[in-house]
């Protein structure tokens, strides 16, 4: 989906959400004030944050589609992640504020006055929220908008929480037992949890997180289709906004290829990945491989056994043996779950040096960016 079309979709859905939430806020605020119900007022406040969230989503979507310029050569796509963070903060603030008010109502309770109109408004609100939440979430997933997805999840959760408010109203009308302040605390707790989850997701996007594993596996598999490519490693996808990636990768190639061969190959790979996935591989690094040489093959197999005798090693690549210079160089990837990766690296380095004392050993501790 193109930037302009995507922006238009985000804005249209957000406007629909704003109008719907404003209508719900007005209806719930009126019956909440008339009935002196903190639970219903809390629900109305939650709908207010949804309307604000949609406004911020529109602003973020508009800014994110601005063209690249000298100061921002990769575009402004990450602005959408910032808008998601602001939306998340609003949700969290609303939950905390509602919690404080709920506790106050427990300390100083007020009589409530519910009627059939109260029930009707709540039921309509629940139905509308479920429909709106599912629709917005589905569209957000389709166009890969984190802000829309967050709004959709929030709206659906609002429907679930409104059910608890409805239960409190029905319990009071039937049994004359007022549990609305306690129900409001539950509602507040759910809002706070949703806010924390959304904040975490937004912060992960702003900081930079690992790209989708399925996408990385597909790209690596596509590159491996080239006959000359012996291995694909170190794929890095830098995220500059939803569906806006620039990347780099290393490939293992036979040592007998010419510079022209490699140049034509890298151009084909770059063009193919751009056409299929819309991702620009701005750098394709090369590892020269000559494992057909018997001596090189023997050394490689010994090193392979040494490296993988250690726990948490998940990959060895970029192996190169220079007989004239008496040097061996290769990369290893150690799982982040290992804890002390440096310790494992030093153990491997020591073991390889012991096995090949006449060689200069250079082992690079690589980062797990794309290993399945």
pLDDT tens digits for range 34-45 = 887 876 887 787
3-state secondary structure of 354: helix
- What span, in angstroms and rounded, lies between the C-alpha atoms of 121 and 27? 7
Domains of the chain: 3-207 (1.20.1510.10), 213-366 (3.30.70.1350)
Phi, psi (rounded to 5 degrees) for 360: -85, 120
Kindly tell me if the per-residue pLDDT of 124 is higher than 60.
Answer: yes
177 vs 226 pLDDT, higher one: 226
The answer to which of 122-126, 160-164, 318-322 has the lowest mean pLDDT is 160-164
Kindly tell me if the per-residue pLDDT of 368 is higher than 90.
Answer: no
Portion of the chain with pLDDT greater than 70, in percent: 97
Q: Which two tokens stand for residue 66?
A: 């601005």
Q: What is the mean pLDDT of residues 227-239?
A: 91
Contact 261, 228 (CB under 8 A): yes
pTM: 0.65
3-state secondary structure of 256: coil
Phi, psi (rounded to 5 degrees) for 251: -130, 145
**What angle is formed at CA 293 by the lines to CA 292 and CA 299, rounded to 5 degrees?**
105
268 vs 51 pLDDT, higher one: 268
The confidence score (pLDDT) of residue 3 equals: 58
Identify the band that residue 347 occupies on the pLDDT scale cut at 50, 70 and 90.
very high
Q: What is the mean pLDDT of residues 79-90?
A: 81
Q: What is the mean pLDDT of residues 322-342?
A: 91
Whose tokens are 């997933």? That residue is: 141
The confidence score (pLDDT) of residue 4 equals: 66
Q: What is the mean pLDDT of residues 15-38?
A: 88
Phi, psi (rounded to 5 degrees) for 211: -70, 165
- What span, in angstroms and rounded, lies between the C-alpha atoms of 250 and 188? 49
**Mean pLDDT for the chain?**
86
Whose tokens are 């193109």? That residue is: 2
Strands, E assignment, 155-244: 231-239
């Amino acid at each position: 989906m193109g930037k302009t079309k995507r922006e238009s979709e985000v804005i249209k859905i957000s406007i629909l959400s704003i109008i719907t939430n404003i209508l719900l806020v007005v209806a719930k605020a009126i019956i909440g004030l008339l009935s002196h119900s903190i639970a219903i007022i809390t629900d109305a406040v939650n709908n207010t944050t949804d309307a604000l969230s949609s406004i911020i989503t529109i602003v973020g979507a508009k800014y994110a589609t601005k063209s690249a310029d000298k100061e921002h050569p990769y575009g402004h796509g990450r602005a959408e992640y910032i808008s998601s963070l602001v939306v998340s903060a609003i949700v969290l603030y609303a939950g905390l504020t509602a919690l404080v008010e709920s506790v106050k109502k427990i300390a100083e309770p007020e009589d409530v006055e519910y009627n059939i109109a109260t029930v009707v408004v709540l039921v309509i609100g629940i139905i509308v929220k479920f429909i709106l939440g599912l629709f917005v979430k589905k569209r957000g997933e389709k166009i890969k908008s984190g802000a829309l997805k967050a709004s959709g999840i929030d709206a659906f959760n609002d429907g679930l929480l409104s059910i608890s408010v409805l239960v409190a109203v029905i319990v009071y009308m039937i049994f004359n037992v007022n549990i609305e302040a306690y129900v409001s605390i539950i509602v507040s707790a759910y809002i706070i949890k949703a806010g924390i989850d959304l904040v975490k997701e937004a912060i992960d996007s702003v900081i930079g997180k690992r790209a989708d594993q399925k996408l990385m596996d597909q790209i690596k598999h596509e590159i491996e289709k080239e006959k000359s490519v012996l291995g694909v490693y170190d794929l890095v996808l830098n995220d500059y906004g939803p569906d806006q990636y620039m990347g780099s990768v290393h490939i293992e190639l036979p040592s007998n290829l010419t510079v022209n061969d490699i140049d034509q190959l890298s151009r084909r790979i770059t063009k193919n990945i751009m056409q299929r996935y819309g991702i620009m591989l701005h750098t394709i690094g090369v590892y020269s491989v000559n494992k057909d040489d018997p001596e090189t093959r023997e050394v490689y197999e010994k090193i392979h056994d040494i490296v993988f005798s250690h726990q948490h090693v998940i990959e060895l690549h970029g192996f190169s043996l220079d007989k004239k210079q008496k040097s061996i160089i290769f990369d290893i990837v150690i799982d982040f779950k290992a804890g002390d990766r440096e310790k494992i690296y030093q153990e491997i380095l020591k073991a390889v040096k012991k096995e090949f004392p006449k060689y200069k050993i250079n082992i690079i501790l690589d980062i797990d960016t794309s290993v399945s």
